[in-house]
Amino acid sequence: MRDPGGETEGHRYDVARRVLSRIAHAVAIVGAAHGGERSCATGTTMYVSLAPAMIAIAEHTGSRTTRLIQGSGEFSVSLLHDSQQDLAVAAGKHAEGPDKLATLRIPAVEAPQGLVAPGVAGSVAILWCRVRETIATGDHLLFVGEVVADRVDEHRRDPLLRYGRRYMRIGHWTSEEAPEGYPT
């Protein structure tokens, strides 16, 4: 049984629980669609190129969302707002039916023209990506996607975070906004 947080596989996931949990992440919902099915899964992302803009997501091989990304060659990443924790919890579990978003009543944003992956309404931002590389990494597949469309909500700036096996809110800033360069 795959249960990274549970007692049954505590030893196998010990390093993940102790150390990987200390990597602070924005919480995202990854969306995908293919062959009449739509799915989504809670996850995280990082950028791996600035120009072209590219991000990576690591999706476990047993996930329906993974299968739909492989079939369609694309995915969406919706960066969640800190008011959307309930959606993160819901999308992190398996759900029946051909449309996981409909089953879970997750409000969808339809993909821009020429794309198929649904986004999540009310997010800080939605990034639509075409898969450029797929790399097997341990028990996950790493999908590297080029951002081909995006939508940013300037009124929703507070991201939902995941850190130390908890959901969290962001604190206050500790510097002025960088005019250029890092932090991006």
Q: Does 162 bind ligand FMN (CB under 6 A)?
A: yes
From the centroid of its chain, how far is CA 37? 18
- Shortest spacing between CB 25 and ligand FMN, in angstroms: 8
Per-residue b/e over 86-121, b at no fewer than 16 CB within 10 Å? Answer: ebbebbeeebeeebbbeeeebebbebbeebbbbbbb
Q: What is the DSSP letter of 24?
A: -
Applying CB under 6 A, among 21, 33, 59, 90 the residue interacting with ligand FMN is 59
Q: Does 123 bind ligand FMN (CB under 6 A)?
A: no
Q: What is the rounded CA–CA span in Å between residue 83 and residue 17?
A: 25
Q: Does 42 bind ligand FMN (CB under 6 A)?
A: yes
Please choose, out of 84-92, 112-120, 147-155, 175-183, the segment that lies near ligand FMN by the rule CB under 6 A: 84-92
Applying CB under 6 A, among 6, 71, 92, 98 the residue interacting with ligand FMN is 92
Give, in order, the Cα–Cα distances in Å from 123 to each of 15, 96, 108, 133.
31, 24, 10, 26
Applying CB under 6 A, among 15, 16, 94, 169 the residue interacting with ligand FMN is 94
- Binding residues for ligand FMN (CB under 6 A): 27, 39, 41-44, 58-60, 63-65, 88, 91-94, 100, 140, 162
